[in-house]
Chains A and B, each alone.
Chain A
Amino acid sequence: MTKQDFRSRDARLGFLLVLPAVVLVILVVILPIISGIQISFTSQRVVGSEYEFIGLKNYFELFEDKQFIASLGKSAIWVLANGFFQTLAALLIALLINQPFRGQNFVRTWIILPWAVPAAVTAILWRWMFDASSGIVNTTMKGMDLVQKPVLFLANPDIAGMSLTFVNSWRYIPFLTIIFLASLASVPEEEYEAAKVDGATPWLQFKSITFPNLLPTLTVLGLVGTLWASNVFDIIWMMTRGGPGDATTTVPVLMYDMAFYGYNISKATAGAIIFLFILIIFAFVFIFANRKQFVIASDTFQDLSK
């Protein structure tokens, strides 16, 4: 057999092997999106009701909808705030527990715990802790004379967003920390030793050894984290329902509210499609702009899995 034959046979085998995955993706990802696009072109108001084709009307309406435009802005702020806070906190924690200390393995293992708590439990837990009169946070702060009046963590429109960012970060930080720890573990210890012998300060070591090694991971997390944060719905809905007022109404929250409480499922779907489009464009631009880091990252993960 010639080399060519081997290749084409390999290619055919490869195709057969990925076929189930391709079918699965088509069934559970592509089809719902197509059906969503279909619905967004209709006047359907609740699931199963009668409707007619109305073209781009839902889309035109949304572009004039101040609430929708505002929710896009809130989503952007939400993503930036979460991304910044979570990444920074997780990185600091990872650097800290990467230093040798007693009980290191214990901490490394159990830090993942908040990640395992169901969102509903997290929401209830923090609502209870943030409660104005009986919540542990307020009673503690008052006990320490830090505040006179209780802080309305979820009821004050200026603070609610920050509170939610904190709770959402509380969920995600452990996961990010683990990723950073894995990434830190792949930095050769020798390079730090060489740097110590060369007289580099800890800051210079971080800047010139740790950070360049973390950059591919940071880049990948920048993408994945943005997409995750954009789609956070559960925590916000269960803690503030997008309120007070519209203070925490991000796009997913607005769409859910519009679909199932505003009885306008087709318009909400159109909003979701617009949001999806924005995220896809963001993803493409982001990957293209950082393609070098993505290549390194995929190499690193391959190396790690060896």
Chain B
Amino acid sequence: MASVALKNLYKNFGQTTVVRNVNVEIDDGEFLVFVGPSGCGKTTTLRMVVGLESLSQGEIHIGNRLVNDLPPGDRDVAMVFQNYALYSHMNVSRNLGFALKSRGLADQEIAKRVQRVAKMLDLEELLERKPKQLSGGQRQRVALGRAVVRNPQVFLMDEPLSNLDALLRLQTRKELIELTTELNSTVIYVTHDQVEAMTMGHRLAVMNKGEVVQLDPPEKVFNEPSNRFVAEFIGSPPMNFLDVEVVEENFQKILKSDAFDLVLPKYWDSLSESEAILGFRPHDAQLVAEGGVAGRVTVVETLGAEKLVYLKVGKNSLSILVPAAEKIRSGDQLRFDLNKDALHLFNRADEKRIMLFKQS
């Protein structure tokens, strides 16, 4: 396995720049996830790393080699494609062995390694089948096996779970984590699914419109999103946002919205902005009998152990999570408090997180 360094990557298709100034260093053995909404340039980035797409600018290093000008076959990376891209005219066994055959390994050695991977991924019964005769989950395992059998420097995976149904996806996710941990693989993983990203990645590179907007471990991305986009994209149900004024009264910083005032904890005293965007997650609100923020319920969604309650608070539409036992109907008035240690403030102009030194 090897480390990977993406330096100052750009990709233009004609006039449009779809990948912009991407700088990411991936450690040996690290599981790095590119996550972002559809169309933000994740696949393009991955295709540049594997060599299926040329770079408009920048450098890609794998291990200590600059691979910009190497063809895909010489980069010693394996890719799991979103639609698996299995060789439709070859059976599973030949699919698995194809890369080894390309490298001119002896048939005996190929057979041995195919057998080992087939055993590891529970494909032994399927070796004679053609891709057409496999279920989605089986195809996915063959695609994975085709990468594993090569024992490459780096695994590249483009939404490998997105074609599986929900239950199988969970199971495969776990297996994939186990497998890559066991092999101590360097993995660059692409997904638009923030849950997948949070559960799998050692670090996340959150992408938006071709740029990496945050590169941090999952907890940090969740707790300290670098801007409003990340805050909204990561976490489910998504964070609430509302415009607030910041005023100072009696040496205290107070957030004023059109419907309520909120006294900030002491450590916000150094806040210098006079206006901001307040963000809070739905689970950082608790129902209270009196005081707090008042709102009128518009929609109630039952999620199982909890209910997601949509509210109108002044002119703002917000949502909060409450225990499922609470009897709440649309039209009800209710009151809630916010967990003041879990508030996020963003700059109105550039929507970047407002950082105070207290928060590391």
Contacts and interface: CB of A to CB of B under 8 A. Distances in A.
Interface of A: 188, 190-191, 193-201, 204, 208-209, 212-213
A198 B98 contact: yes
B85 A194 contact: yes
Given A190-B81, A204-B102, A208-B98, A197 B87 contact: no
B90 interface: yes
Given A190-B85, A208-B90, A195 B52 contact: no
Contacts, number: 64
A196 B81 contact: no
A187 B150 CA distance: 25
B83 A196 contact: no
B123 interface: no
A249 B88 CA distance: 46
Contact of B89 (A190, A196, A201, A212): A212
A191 B102 contact: no
B13 to A, nearest CB: 14
Q: Is the interface of A mostly helix, strand, loop or mixed?
A: helix
Interface of B: 50-52, 71-74, 77-79, 81, 83, 85-90, 98-99, 101-103, 146, 150
B52 A213 contact: no
Given A196-B72, A197-B73, A188 B102 contact: no
A197 B89 contact: no
Contact of A196 (B73, B86, B88): B73
Given A194-B81, A198-B102, A208 B71 contact: no
A190 B74 CA distance: 18
30 contacts: A188-B85, A190-B83, A191-B86, A191-B88, A193-B81, A194-B81, A194-B87, A194-B146, A195-B98, A196-B51, A196-B52, A196-B71, A196-B73, A197-B77, A197-B78, A198-B73, A198-B98, A198-B102, A198-B146, A199-B73, A199-B74, A199-B99, A199-B102, A199-B103, A200-B98, A200-B99, A204-B101, A208-B87, A208-B89, A209-B87
A134 to B, nearest CB: 52
Contacts of A188: 85, 88
> Which 6 A-B residue pairings sit nearest by Cβ, starting from the closest?
A199-B73, A190-B85, A212-B89, A198-B99, A194-B85, A199-B102
B259 to A, nearest CB: 53
A187 B73 CA distance: 20
Contacts of B101: 204
A208 B90 CA distance: 8
Nearest to A200: B102
Contacts of A193: 52, 72, 81, 85
Nearest to A198: B99
B102 A213 contact: no
A204 B77 CA distance: 19
A33 B128 CA distance: 49
Nearest to B78: A197
Contacts of B78: 197
Most B CB contacts (10 A, CB to CB) among A188, A197, A198 go to A197
B3 to A, nearest CB: 20
B73 A191 contact: no
Contacts of A195: 87, 98, 102
Contacts of B85: 188, 190-191, 193-194
A262 B73 CA distance: 67
Given A194-B79, A194-B81, A201 B102 contact: yes
